[in-house]
Amino acid sequence: MAWFAESLVPEYRASREFVLGRIHTAVSLVSRMPRLLSLMDDGKVEYYAASRVVDVTGVLSDEHAREVDSLLADKLAAAAETMWLPHNLVRAVRRLVDKVDPTGRVERAAKANNDRKVTLEHGENCQSRLVTTMRSEVAAACYARVDSLARQRKRDGHKRTYDQLRADVVADLLLGNDPGATTPEASAVVYVHMPVDTALSISESGAELDGYGPIPGAIGREIAANPKSIWRKVLCDPATGDPVDLGRSRYRPTATLREAMRVRDRECVIPWCHRPARHCDTDHEREWARDNGPTSLTNLTARCRRHHRMKHAPGWTSRYDVARARLSITTPLGRTYTHTRDAILTPKPEPSDPDAPPF
């Protein structure tokens, strides 16, 4: 299922999680909730509401899910129009889930707790969301603690809004700073690529944050001005914009090679994956043992763990021309996609010959 979803990512032009969600919802509607699917066919229930119902019933066995499906359809047949609203529909389904499987409530809660996680969702204007999924009472206690610290800072005379203070307190607690004392600054490892003319305020373009994309030059300089930031020189070929050397502060060549590859690729080389290269595997494009591929910058690429494994999965073929920064990948569906990696710097055009005749 996972590799099938992966092959549909470029078809849908959506994230892998979105595609997996669509597949899961479709399979559940067909096999577990046919009467709800029939209501969708009649135009009485739209996709969003149906997907929420599928999520709530996902913890049930197939038998119990079909029972909820039947009870829900009977309930909706005589329900007021307001019952069809997604929120009301989900509340009704939760009650039906507890009705058909009352003894499974504790087990469902334990299973859901096993899926706790933290996700990073990048947004616009250099803003992102850090989302934590955890037990409700733990989340409530965390929020109460954050809100208490934010209100204390407000009483101390800070001019920031409560929302701003709460966000700053969360960042400070995670980064080990004094909660809410000042606007947080990143002290963990993040990679920002910035041309020297942007660093010197000569230009406002070219700054880029790994895993996110372009950021304003002013924000890049603000990150660079952090006393905890570490600068590193990267020499780039002006014709291609790709790195050719690193200013070395380390002796071990293996570590230097890995860092040069991460600086060059910045993200997983698969076109629809944006996992930062620093969190990816170092992959030999030509296999080291089978193809006698060298351990060199011309043969190393950044692939996240999932796409590193996908490279060897049945039906998948890929070829990455490191010199030309071009990837060609064929999915099990027989579709081939090509992608050219953006250079770190915009390549400079060849200078024109002033003596050449005009054509």
Q: Is the pLDDT reported for residue 336 higher than 70?
A: yes
pLDDT digits (tens, 9 = 90+) for 31-58: 999 999 999 999 999 999 999 999 999 8
Q: Is the pLDDT reported for residue 238 higher than 70?
A: no
The model's confidence at residue 220, banded by pLDDT at 50, 70 and 90, is confident
> What pLDDT does 250 receive?
34
> What pLDDT does 132 receive?
94
Q: Which residues of 324-335 are buried (b: 16+ CB within 10 A; e: fewer)?
A: ebebebebeeee
> What is the 3-class SS of 178-196, one letter each residue?
CCCCCCCCCCCCCCEECCH
Give the pLDDT mean for 89-110. Answer: 86
> What pLDDT does 53 receive?
95
Q: Is 58 exposed, middle or buried (0-12, 13-18, 19+ CB in 10 A)?
A: middle
**Higher confidence at residue 345 or residue 168?**
168
Q: Whole-number mean pLDDT of the chain?
A: 82
Phi, psi of 243, rounded to the nearest 5 degrees:
-70, 140
Cα distance between residue 312 and residue 332, in whole Å: 12
Contact 173, 188 (CB under 8 A): no
pLDDT digits (tens, 9 = 90+) for 244-283: 555 443 323 367 788 888 888 888 989 888 888 888 988 8
Contact 49, 76 (CB under 8 A): no
> What pLDDT does 251 receive?
29
Q: Is the pLDDT reported for residue 65 higher than 90?
A: yes
- pTM of the complete model beyond 0.75: no
Q: Is the pLDDT reported for residue 230 higher than 60?
A: yes
